[in-house]
Structure 1
Amino acid sequence: MSKKHPSQDELLVKLQMPGPTLNTQPVNSLGAPMVELGIQVTLDKLRAYDRNPRKLRNPKYDEIKESIRAVGLKNPPVITQRPGDDKYMISDGGNTRLQILQELYEETGDKRFYEFYCIYRPWISEAAALAGHLSENETRGDLTWIEKSLGVQALKEQLEAEAGETLPQRELARRAKVLGFALDQSHISRMLHTVEHIWPTLPMTLESGMGQPQIKQLIAYREASLLIWQRCDAKPEDDFGPAWHETLAYFDHEGQTVLPWSLVEDRLLGMLSDETGAHLSPIEHALQTILEYRKRRWSLEEHAEQVWGPLDAEMERLRNPDAPPLDYQPASLTKNSQGGKASSLSNGAGDPLSLVQGKTGEPAYAKEAPGLLPTSRESMETNAGSNRQDSKQEALRREQAVLWRELERLQEESALLQRAPIASTSHTESDSDLDLDGLMPPASDENLEEQWTEEARQQRLDALTVTPHREADSHRRMREMMAREHGGEPIDFENNALRSIPLMAGGPMHPVTDIWAIEAHFQGTRELRLEISLFAQYLGRWAGINMPGDQYKPIIPTHEAGEGLGYTLEPLNEEQAQNRRAQWVWQFLAGLIGEPLHPMYPTDVGLIGELLGTVSDDEGMPDEILVRVFRMVRLMRVLKEQLREGSAS
């Protein structure tokens, strides 16, 4: 039997019947993509990353804004979407661009600032999002040290929350690298230390942009001070943190990026002396020795007697005033045959430090080392007076005051002798005509010192100073000690400037106080190569290469391998080769060490004139760079001579 077909009226009725009821909510938009791709988004569908490590305004904000206003968004930000969120979120940097787009759309109403393309990447995790922002800002070098430190601390907490356990720093560095944020473990250690111990104490200084070199020095001072605190064992270790905070918080100022280190050191020494009861001199000896030994990577345990001898003797005196007198006479600082390390710290003039306990229990320094003297005569008188028991001790106090006055007189005489110029033993008629533009009075056979006025002396110093540099007292004392221990005399700019032709140049690198003279402890082939490589890298930084944080550095030091003249070169990468100054410097450094010049970079003789600023109107090397180039060439010539002598022998 054939099937009956519905009539047209029946079909019409069925078509007009309502469909089944919808039991789910309608979908107004598509879900997030499952793969990376470019998508078009609008401002109302995009939000900033709410855990952005950048806390301060981007210093290039106005420049970026004008660029986007002029040509539109040329570098679309990377976006992602948290699970359950109805909006996209900035990933791997781009919050600044998003804020600028919002401002420009409000100002102009232009649709190109409202709707644009972005690169979408599927969501991975909160830690991956934070690592992406840190990596992006690290690549551009936009973050301050404290911003990056707080970001690393947040990343550590997030990774530990996801792992459900505490992560050691090595594992933290490994997991961050997997997420695309490569950071050395030593950097992580310093950043976490900054957040825990320095951020609460110096917030304004850190927010102003205090950088890694200052942080490293501050950490070194804190660790050394804590070791001294623990060695004295006068108060619980938990009391060190508040004492450190109270001492350093005094130096926190807005807009400051460099600490006054001589004052910081003085305050730390005073705090340690007040809290432990020990005299300033053995504390300063311990502090300077720890800083120097750690800088040289020498073991404090192997040299415990040299580091702690004076302080141990002082603490024994405080704990047991009736104990027999203690003598401490360490050997002078010399290199041993095993490792070339020093066996002790001397006073810089070849004489060992002798710490002898006097009859009254007060320490007397038979031979005072630079930096180990008590701070003032008053402090010594007060210390002696506090232990006054009878008239005999009062007489001793008066005797000490007399000795202090005599010591001060001798120090003043020594300072005058050091400032006095060296009188010439010969004089010619042509010499008398030299005036050096009025900076130096004409020499004469008699009474030369009286002719050198303070005004002329200062004019001469000013004329020979390229960029002023103030050397910390602690650094000067250590440099003088090292020079004398190697059989030479330390270079003193102010004294040498009046009898030779040095130049001073400060800056990010250590200052050049004399172009020609080379101190004894820098005259080994390894030391010369190290110094040459540092100067070459400094010159490279002026040219925009070998910058801190660069993944590719064409100037490669060779002092560890003991080869060449201190460095070798690799060709510039494509981005670096766009910089003409970088090409000039590369060719110049290649010529100094005899490597073939690059055929694609400038090779004509005028290259030297371009660098020195004598050929074109372009800016050549500034004076502080030129001084270092002269010094580098001088070191290369000395190293070359040593290598020739070694080859001949």
Structure 2
Amino acid sequence: MSKKHMSQNEILQKLQQPGPTLKSQPVKSLGAPLREMGIEVTLNDVRPYDRNPRSQRNPKYDEIKASIRAAGLKHAPVLTQRPGDDLYMISDGGNTRLEILTELYAETGDEKYYRFHAIFRPWISEAAAMAGHLSENENRGDLSWIEKCLGLQELKQELEQEADQSFSQRELVSIAQGLGYTINQSHISKMLYTLEHLWPTLPLTLQSGMGKPQVEKAIRYREATLQIWVYCEVKPKEDFAGAWHTTMSQFDREDQDVLPWSIVEDRLLGMLEAEMQVHLAPLDHALSTILEYRQRRYSLEEHRDQIWGPLDVELGRAEGIPRTTYPPLPEAKPDSTDSTKTATLQQVVEPQSAQEVGDSTLSFQASEKDQGGDSENDELAALRRKLAELQEENASLVEQAVVPPTSMISEVSVPRSSEQDSNDNDAEGDAVLSLSDEERQQRIADQTLSPVHESEGHRNLREMLARQEGGEPINFEANAVRSIPLMSDGPEGGPVYPVTDIWTVEPQYLAPRDLRVQINQFAQGLARWAGFCKPGDELYPVQPSNTGVGYQLEPLSDEQSQSPRAQKMWQLLASLAGEPLHPMYPDASLIGELLGTNSDEDALPDELLVRFYRMVRLVRVLREEIKRDEEDAS
């Protein structure tokens, strides 16, 4: 029997009957895909990554916006979705593009900015998302150094929190590579060093965009300075961080991403000089040598003597340095007669006043009469001569005592003939004796442009080193009343070698390297007065050199060369260094203008004129020392 077919009305009735009742909530949107795939989303479906390592506006923002406006979104952003989140999230970079799409849609209302294609990747972990953003920005190269450092630190903390253990730098490299973020251990070491030692001290400079080369230079300076601090063993190593922070924080500014390194080096040396209580020259030598040898990858241990030799002398660690600055006493003999004479001589070697000298003389004469004997006449005559010399020296010191002490740094006289010294001393002695106390004080004041502070300990050490090298230290207070150049600490500021004597050079600073260091600093001071090599300049035409006179010249920048004074000074420094003069700058007549003999417009001030003469003297001494070394070698 055939089945009866439904009529059209019956079919219509069936279709119009309601279906089964829905017992669950309706789905408003589809869930995230289970595998990587392309999807279409709207701006309402996506939000930026909330732990983006970028804290500053993308420097290419305007360029990217112009490209999207002209040609649309060329590169689909990569999205992911945290578990439990109902929105997609930017993964592996793309926050800037999402921000630009939102901005363009608000400006134009164009649908092409609202709806776009993207690539979805399933969620792995928070650390994987952070590594993806760091890797993407590293490839594009548009993150600042400090943003990379902070991002790496956050990734490290997230990984250690997930694993509940700490990781070494080597382990961190391996884990980051597994997450797609390729970075070497040296890079990680510098990033973590930046956060520990530079970020607290130079936050504004780092945020302004201080890059990796500048950071590496700061690290080199800090490590070299710390090495000198530890070597001196004057203060605990733990105190270095505070001294470093106090010195370097002065250079932190918002409007810079490059530090004025010449001034930074001066300040660091000044800090070491103040904290370690040692002279500037051996510190400067140690710092520059460490920086140079590390750049050349020399072993510092193998070149220990080249680095620390001058500083060892300053610290009294070098072999042969006496423990006291007083002259050694004659060796004692077993018989009582010599013991009596030695004790008597001890009293006159270190007299305190003219009265003590007189008393010592009477005692010496009395002992001489009591002893008698023709066999000792020669020895007694020698002792009389020694006593007379000590009396004359003490009388000179007593005369100097009425002069108010002026802190200074002086240098030892160049050897002269005995006949010249005798004639000069006689003439000067007569002139000095004729001066009243008021005239002495006025002469010292007239010859002191700016007092130079010198601690008593440093002064004793300087005098000891001068005698150790076979010379005699100069006393500014004593010699100023005779004839000595102006004392000046320099108008340009900073730890520049003061000039208290144009002609003389202390024997411990006759090494060519030490002479070149001083000459370069004088050249820098002259250049700063002329308008170049100033703090903040990108170009430093006067560069230190380990050959020649101690510096070499680079051309002036276009801005610097606009100054006639700068052109004249450049020509003058070039002529001193034996370098070719610039054909477009003033000719040799500039010397008269700078020295103030035919013009006052660009004449050097007195304190710089003294430095110029001192610089010329040092160049001449340097040439003599180099010639002597060449003759000894041949």
Equivalences for residues 206-217 of structure 1 within 5 A: 206-217=206-217
Q: 8 Å contact 1:384–1:397 — kept in the other structure?
A: no
Distance 1:206 1:405, change over 3 A: closer
Q: Sequence identity, in percent?
A: 52
2:19 and 2:117 mapped to 1: Cα distance? Answer: 44
* Alpha-carbon offset, residue 225 of structure 1: 1.0
Residue 252 of structure 1 aligns to which amino acid in structure 2?
Answer: D
* Alpha-carbon offset, residue 396 of structure 1: 4.3
Alignment correspondent of 2:225:
225
Alignment correspondent of 1:96:
96
Q: Secondary structure of the equivalent of 2:40?
A: strand
Do residues 263 (structure 1) and 263 (structure 2) align? yes
Distance 1:276 1:73, change over 3 A: same
Residue 143 of structure 2 aligns to which amino acid in structure 1?
Answer: L
Q: Secondary structure of the equivalent of 1:66?
A: helix
Residue 183 of structure 2 aligns to which amino acid in structure 1?
Answer: L
Q: Secondary structure of the equivalent of 1:116?
A: strand
Q: 8 Å contact 2:410–2:501 — kept in the other structure?
A: no
1:367 and 1:257 mapped to 2: Cα distance? Answer: 46
* Alpha-carbon offset, residue 165 of structure 1: 2.4
Distance 1:48 1:287, change over 3 A: same
Match of 2:539 among 448, 458, 469: 469
Q: 8 Å contact 1:205–1:252 — kept in the other structure?
A: yes
Do residues 408 (structure 1) and 483 (structure 2) align? no
Q: 8 Å contact 1:385–1:397 — kept in the other structure?
A: no
Alignment correspondent of 2:194:
194
Q: Secondary structure of the equivalent of 2:452?
A: helix
2:582 and 2:132 mapped to 1: Cα distance? Answer: 47
Distance 1:121 1:251, change over 3 A: same
Distance 1:489 1:380, change over 3 A: closer
Alignment correspondent of 1:107:
107
Do residues 276 (structure 1) and 276 (structure 2) align? yes
Alignment correspondent of 2:402:
none
Equivalences for residues 479-494 of structure 1 within 5 A: 479=545, 481=546, 483=547, 491-492=552-553, 494=570
Q: 8 Å contact 2:169–2:189 — kept in the other structure?
A: yes
1:220 and 1:69 mapped to 2: Cα distance? Answer: 46
1:236 and 1:136 mapped to 2: Cα distance? Answer: 44
Query: What TM-score do the two structures reach when normalised by structure 2?
Result: 0.53
Q: 8 Å contact 1:49–1:90 — kept in the other structure?
A: yes
1:310 and 1:269 mapped to 2: Cα distance? Answer: 15
Residue 230 of structure 2 aligns to which amino acid in structure 1?
Answer: Q
Alignment correspondent of 1:333:
none
**Structure with more of its chain in helix, by fraction:** 2
Q: Secondary structure of the equivalent of 1:278?
A: coil
Q: Secondary structure of the equivalent of 1:58?
A: coil
Q: Secondary structure of the equivalent of 1:181?
A: coil
Q: 8 Å contact 2:412–2:474 — kept in the other structure?
A: no
Q: 8 Å contact 1:128–1:179 — kept in the other structure?
A: yes
Q: 8 Å contact 2:413–2:503 — kept in the other structure?
A: no
Alignment correspondent of 2:242:
242
Distance 1:287 1:194, change over 3 A: same
Distance 1:324 1:500, change over 3 A: closer
Deviation readout 1:67-88 (Å, 9 max, x if unpaired)? 2223322211111111221111
Alignment correspondent of 1:148:
148
* Alpha-carbon offset, residue 315 of structure 1: 3.3
1:141 and 1:500 mapped to 2: Cα distance? Answer: 42
Deviation readout 1:157-186 (Å, 9 max, x if unpaired)? 222223332222222222222222222322
Alignment correspondent of 1:309:
309
**Bigger Rg, which one:** 2
Alignment correspondent of 1:66:
66
Alignment correspondent of 2:56:
56
Aligned length: 387
1:242 and 1:58 mapped to 2: Cα distance? Answer: 35
Deviation readout 1:348-397 (Å, 9 max, x if unpaired)? xxxxxxxxxxxxxx9999999xxxxxxx98144776569999xxx99846
1 or 2 for the larger relative contact order (CA 8 Å, sep ≥6)?
A: 2
Residue 292 of structure 1 aligns to which amino acid in structure 2?
Answer: E
What runs of 5+ residues in structure 1 fail to find an aligned partner? 1-7, 327-361, 369-375, 420-453, 462-466, 505-649
Residue 290 of structure 1 aligns to which amino acid in structure 2?
Answer: I
Distance 1:78 1:217, change over 3 A: same
Query: What TM-score do the two structures reach when normalised by structure 1?
Result: 0.52
Do residues 185 (structure 1) and 192 (structure 2) align? no
* Alpha-carbon offset, residue 91 of structure 1: 0.8
1:472 and 1:156 mapped to 2: Cα distance? Answer: 44
Residue 179 of structure 2 aligns to which amino acid in structure 1?
Answer: L
Residue 235 of structure 1 aligns to which amino acid in structure 2?
Answer: K
Alignment correspondent of 1:378:
452
After TM superposition, the structure 1 stretch with the greater mean CA deviation from structure 2, 27-36 or 204-213, is 27-36
* Alpha-carbon offset, residue 234 of structure 1: 2.2
Q: 8 Å contact 1:262–1:472 — kept in the other structure?
A: no
* Alpha-carbon offset, residue 304 of structure 1: 2.5
After TM superposition, the structure 1 stretch with the greater mean CA deviation from structure 2, 190-199 or 215-224, is 190-199
Q: Secondary structure of the equivalent of 1:192?
A: helix
Distance 1:249 1:490, change over 3 A: closer
* Alpha-carbon offset, residue 407 of structure 1: 4.1
Alignment correspondent of 1:205:
205
Q: 8 Å contact 2:149–2:191 — kept in the other structure?
A: yes
Alignment correspondent of 1:44:
44
Q: 8 Å contact 1:314–1:363 — kept in the other structure?
A: no
1:500 and 1:394 mapped to 2: Cα distance? Answer: 36
Residue 408 of structure 1 aligns to which amino acid in structure 2?
Answer: I
Q: Secondary structure of the equivalent of 1:246?
A: helix
2:451 and 2:457 mapped to 1: Cα distance? Answer: 10
Residue 314 of structure 2 aligns to which amino acid in structure 1?
Answer: E
Alignment correspondent of 2:121:
121
Q: 8 Å contact 1:290–1:307 — kept in the other structure?
A: yes
1:400 and 1:140 mapped to 2: Cα distance? Answer: 67
Q: 8 Å contact 2:289–2:307 — kept in the other structure?
A: yes
After TM superposition, the structure 1 stretch with the greater mean CA deviation from structure 2, 290-299 or 232-241, is 232-241
Do residues 138 (structure 1) and 138 (structure 2) align? yes
Alignment correspondent of 1:159:
159
Distance 1:279 1:400, change over 3 A: farther
Alignment correspondent of 2:28:
28
- Supply the RMSD in Å over aligned alpha carbons: 4.4
2:113 and 2:247 mapped to 1: Cα distance? Answer: 51
What runs of 5+ residues in structure 2 fail to find an aligned partner? 1-9, 327-407, 415-449, 464-471, 486-497, 506-514, 521-525, 555-569, 584-634
Deviation readout 1:213-265 (Å, 9 max, x if unpaired)? 11111100000111112122222222211211111110111121211111101
Q: 8 Å contact 2:232–2:276 — kept in the other structure?
A: yes
Residue 280 of structure 2 aligns to which amino acid in structure 1?
Answer: L
2:454 and 2:297 mapped to 1: Cα distance? Answer: 35
Deviation readout 1:482-525 (Å, 9 max, x if unpaired)? x36xxx99754556966876899xxxxxxxxxxxxxxxxxxxxx
Distance 1:99 1:229, change over 3 A: same
2:18 and 2:186 mapped to 1: Cα distance? Answer: 76
Q: Secondary structure of the equivalent of 2:79?
A: strand
Distance 1:225 1:17, change over 3 A: closer
Equivalences for residues 593-632 of structure 1 within 5 A: none
Distance 1:96 1:503, change over 3 A: farther
Deviation readout 1:250-297 (Å, 9 max, x if unpaired)? 011112121111110111111122222222222222211211121111
Deviation readout 1:9-50 (Å, 9 max, x if unpaired)? xx99xx98975855xx55433221121111011111111011
Deviation readout 1:187-216 (Å, 9 max, x if unpaired)? 221111111111111111112211111111
Q: Secondary structure of the equivalent of 1:378?
A: coil
Residue 153 of structure 2 aligns to which amino acid in structure 1?
Answer: Q
Q: Secondary structure of the equivalent of 1:117?
A: strand
Q: 8 Å contact 2:221–2:291 — kept in the other structure?
A: yes
Alignment correspondent of 1:589:
none
